[in-house]
């Protein structure tokens, strides 16, 4: 007997049991034929997750390989990620996630009807990633302390994380950061049939008191001081494709879902789903958490000089606006796609201002009847004055692209815009910054007197040696260099630059062509570029369809300039596009 099943487009997703009942000669027999799964179907035009572009379906549903974008907006780095949504057992784990999170919106799961709605399913998954009180999939380290778990940046893919959560009685896996949270969510959503992708936003504000303003405090040496507000260098979240019946949408569109718990005024919470177009239009009453998502791509940066904790002064500086660069992996390509225009109109355009005014009136009820001119005056009074208003132009330009072990070379460019001499004293410093904007050690300080003649342009070379920054960098491969003028000289001028220190590459070379169920070998090589030993070196290998679980190789201690070369053997166990990932960890990173 050949049996075909055609579930309706509004069927609840999940695992079903198929029973057969036969009546013959007055007797009835029942037999279980097995079970089957019903998922969302982006190929079906009647399904709320329908996506009509085949190339997009292949990228956002079928592709198991992704890329995470990190770094800073002027130096974007990338690293591969294995989503692994088709690995054995992952579908059952994803359905277990829905079981564990079923009471999030509905009190109990006696009624499964919500499981045919991708909006409610996405909310449950979003909550379960890191916000569930006891059974969330991952946990974020407190105070950057992850001695009791796995380093957040050492994960290569979602499969080991989901397997560890499932096999560990659904206890949170330690530890995560925003990139791994968004990637695990992307795996779950793709596994359930919902097209999804990971998005990175550079210059991401996290403010508790002022939704549309982010304040950063500096002392007289240029050191960033700890405060309530944090300017994340980047932040990752998830986008999923669905038609929102609750918003009367007849066609699918991207919805923003942020599984990282952030301060929202009602405590730490994840956000979404929020219609991306409503963020661009400033229609904040339309959707879940709209005002939070709008502020995360539209906040204004304000830099302050704190003087003896008694007073504060605004800098003259050219600040990079928050949320001006949002990117994701391109369809069918290893390059990134700039999707900033999906979240906001061009900065300074009429439509951009109209959306901002519309959102401002909803976020600040006291301005609900204010004119556009009134709001614009209020905004102008909060912003930093431009450097050009002081008659000086400054910027820090990279002279090299430093890797671990190399010195950082910069050019400090100054220009006098006036027809008179300028004499200023500057304090310069460098400080380690986490990706989430937490200031760490200040490891370099210097003072310098600068004299500029009328209309003079000067280029001053700066060098920060590895011996100065190396002991402090650790996992945080971002430093901030600041030059701030002495307040005793009059106007306070500031210029800064975030610098990413690249990690040394791990070279992967296949020695034979991978074939199904045929042993294959690969050579993994790495060279220690430091002028010191690298201790506790561990290589982790992972690959969908290549390794059923990650392979760990203990390399011990690598001397300076020592080349480590390892041959590994594996047997591809399923068809598909395979990619071997290698990640090196040591006492330095």
Yes or no: say if 319 and 301 are a contact pair by the CB < 8 Å rule: yes
Query: Where are the domains positioned within the chain?
Result: 54-344, 392-500, 506-585
**235 labelled catalytic:** yes
Q: Which two tokens stand for residue 571?
A: 């047997």
Q: Which two tokens stand for residue 522?
A: 């690969």
Q: What is this structure's pTM?
A: 0.94
Q: Are strands 300-307 and 213-218 parallel, antiparallel or unpaired?
A: parallel
Eight-state DSSP code of residue 383:
S
- CATH architecture classification, 506-585: Sandwich (2.60)
Among 512, 507, 428, residue whose Cα is nearest residue 464 = 428
Among 85, 120, 100, 93, residue whose Cα is nearest residue 193 = 85
What is the CATH number that goes with domain 392-500?
2.60.40.10
**258 labelled catalytic:** yes
pLDDT tens sequence for the chain (589 residues) = 788 889 999 999 999 999 989 898 889 989 898 899 999 999 999 999 999 999 999 999 999 999 999 999 999 999 999 999 999 999 999 999 999 998 776 554 556 778 999 999 999 999 999 988 789 999 998 877 777 899 899 999 999 999 999 999 999 999 999 999 999 999 999 999 999 999 999 999 998 778 898 999 999 999 999 888 999 999 999 999 999 988 888 899 999 999 999 876 667 788 889 999 999 999 988 777 888 899 999 999 999 999 876 788 899 898 777 988 999 999 999 999 999 999 999 998 999 999 999 999 999 988 989 999 999 998 888 889 999 999 999 999 999 999 999 999 999 999 999 999 999 999 999 999 999 999 999 999 999 999 999 999 999 999 999 999 999 987 779 999 999 998 887 789 999 999 999 998 999 998 988 889 999 999 999 999 988 899 989 999 988 888 888 889 998 999 998 988 999 999 998 887 778 888 888 877 7
392-500 and 506-585 share one fold = yes
Q: Which of 65, 120, 127, 235 is catalytic?
A: 235
Among 526, 520, 492, residue whose Cα is nearest residue 507 = 526
SS3 414: strand
Q: Which of 94, 178, 206, 317 is catalytic?
A: 178
Q: Which of 117, 229, 258, 289 is catalytic?
A: 258
Q: What is the DSSP secondary-structure string of 39-88?
A: ---TT-TTSTT----HHHHIIIII--EEEEEEEETTEEEEEEEE--TTST
d(CA 456, CA 458): 7
- CATH architecture classification, 54-344: Alpha-Beta Complex (3.90)
Torsion sign (Cα): 132, 134, 140, 143: positive
């Amino acid at each position: 007997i050949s049996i075909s099943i055609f579930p309706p487009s509004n069927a609840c997703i999940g695992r079903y049991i198929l029973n057969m009942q036969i009546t013959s000669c007055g007797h009835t027999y029942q037999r279980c034929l097995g079970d089957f799964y019903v998922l969302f179907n982006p190929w079906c035009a009647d399904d709320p997750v329908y996506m009509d572009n085949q190339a997009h379906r292949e990228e956002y549903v079928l592709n198991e390989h992704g890329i995470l974008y990190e770094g800073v907006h002027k130096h974007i780095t990338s690293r591969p990620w294995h989503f692994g949504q088709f690995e054995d057992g992952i579908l059952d784990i994803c359905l277990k996630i829905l079981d564990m999170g079923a009471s999030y919106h509905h009190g109990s799961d006696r009624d499964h009807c919500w499981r045919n709605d991708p909006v409610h399913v996405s909310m449950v998954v979003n909550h379960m990633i890191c916000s569930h009180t006891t059974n969330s999939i991952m946990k974020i380290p407190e105070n950057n302390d992850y001695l009791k778990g796995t380093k957040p940046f050492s994960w290569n893919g979602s499969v080991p994380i989901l397997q560890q959560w499932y096999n560990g009685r659904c206890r949170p896996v330690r530890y995560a950061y925003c990139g791994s949270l968004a990637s695990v969510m992307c795996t779950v959503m793709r596994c359930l049939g919902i097209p999804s992708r990971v998005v990175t936003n550079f210059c991401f504000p996290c403010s508790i008191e002022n939704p549309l303003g982010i304040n950063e405090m500096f002392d007289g040496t240029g050191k960033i001081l700890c405060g309530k507000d944090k300017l994340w260098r980047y932040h990752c979240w998830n986008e999923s494709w669905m038609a929102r019946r609750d918003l009367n949408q007849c066609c699918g569109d991207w919805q923003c879902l942020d599984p990282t718990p952030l301060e929202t005024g009602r405590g730490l919470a994840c956000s979404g789903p929020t219609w991306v177009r409503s963020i661009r239009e400033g229609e904040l009453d339309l959707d879940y958490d709209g005002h939070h998502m709008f502020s995360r791509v539209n906040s204004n940066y304000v830099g302050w000089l704190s003087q003896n904790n008694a007073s504060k002064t605004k800098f003259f500086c050219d600040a990079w606006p928050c949320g001006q660069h949002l990117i994701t992996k391109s369809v069918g390509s290893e390059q990134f796609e700039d999707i900033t225009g999906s979240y906001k109109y061009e900065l300074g355009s009429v439509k951009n201002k109209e959306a901002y005014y519309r959102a401002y009136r909803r976020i600040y009820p006291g301005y609900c009847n204010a004119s556009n001119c009134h709001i614009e005056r209020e905004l102008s009074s909060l912003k930093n004055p431009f450097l050009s208003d002081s008659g000086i132009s400054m910027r820090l330009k990279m002279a090299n692209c430093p890797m671990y072990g190399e010195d950082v070379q910069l050019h400090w460019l100054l220009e006098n815009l006036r027809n008179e001499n300028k004499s200023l004293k500057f304090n310069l410093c460098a400080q380690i910054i986490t990706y989430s904007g937490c200031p760490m050690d200040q490891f370099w300080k210097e003072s310098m007197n600068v004299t500029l003649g009328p209309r003079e342009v000067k280029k001053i070379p700066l060098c920060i040696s590895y011996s100065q920054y190396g002991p402090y960098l650790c996992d945080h491969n971002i430093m901030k260099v600041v030059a701030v003028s002495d307040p005793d000289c009059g106007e306070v001028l500031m210029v800064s630059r975030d610098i990413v220190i690249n990690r040394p590459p791990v070279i992967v070379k296949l020695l034979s062509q991978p074939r199904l169920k045929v042993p294959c070998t690969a050579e993994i090589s790495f060279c220690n570029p430091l002028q010191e030993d690298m201790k506790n070196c561990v290589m982790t290998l992972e690959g969908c369809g290549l390794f059923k679980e990650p392979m760990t190789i203990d390399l011990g201690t690598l001397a300076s300039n020592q080349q480590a070369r390892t041959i590994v053997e594996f047997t591809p166990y399923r068809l598909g596009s395979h990619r071997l990932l290698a990640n090196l960890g040591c006492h330095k990173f």
